[in-house]
Structure 1
Amino acid sequence: MLFALLCTDKPGALQVRLDTRPEHLAYLNRLNEEGKLAFAGPFLGEDGKPNGSLVVVKAETIEAARDLADADPYAKAGLFAGVEIKPWNWVFNNPEA
């Protein structure tokens, strides 16, 4: 099952994001290698700078998706003001369909 992790950065936390980015990318690469990552990328503000993330993961349950979200180095660094997790159905342009 797919889950969308809708992550919103705390205001003024861009430096936390930049400082933690290498660990975050390594984490996403590991999830990808394990077959747990569908896709991911940052949301951008009007200034073009990242201000959140969309990460779509493959997990058996919403609790397992929450565990993946909590293990993200961005989450551990306190970057996010909030993370909303929603079951998601990839209908169009799904390469696995």
Structure 2
Amino acid sequence: MPASSPHYVVLCRDVPDSASLRRAVLAEHRRYVDERADLIKLSGPLLDEDRVTRRGQLFVLEVPDREAAEAFIAADPFTRAGVFATVEIDPLLPIFGDGRRT
């Protein structure tokens, strides 16, 4: 059975050598996502194998439609600062979460 509200996976890959861009807007990005925490089911930076170097961002959003997911990521300070080289948005059918089937 589908979830009551649509979910979207937003997968962002950074431009090469984006560390300085990320640092420049990190505080603004954190404020942005904190203010929209009700839309975010899961989020965090993607890491290189060294588990330190950031190379992208993942969001699982619960929003009404794709347009809302697009608007969310378009307004993110990382997007506006040019941190992301690519952004993919895909619908997600949540089947498992919080340690159990939904």
% of aligned pairs identical?
33
In 2, Cα distance between equivalents of 1:22 and 1:15: 13
Selected match of 1:87 from 91, 96, 100: 91
- C-alpha deviation, 1:20, in angstroms: 1.0
- 1:15 and 2:15 equivalent? no
Q: Which of these two proteins has the greater Rg computed from alpha carbons? A: 2
In 1, Cα distance between equivalents of 2:98 and 2:17: 35
Q: Note the 1:1-97 alignment, pairs <5 A.
A: 1-32=6-37, 35-47=38-50, 48-94=52-98, 97=102
Unaligned runs of 5+ in 2: 1-5
1:28-79 residue CA offsets vs partner (Å, 9 max, x unmatched): 11111xx211110011012321100001111111111100010100000010
List structure 1 segments (4+ residues) > 4 angstroms apart after TM superposition.
Answer: none
TM-score calculated relative to the size of structure 1: 0.89
TM-score calculated relative to the size of structure 2: 0.85
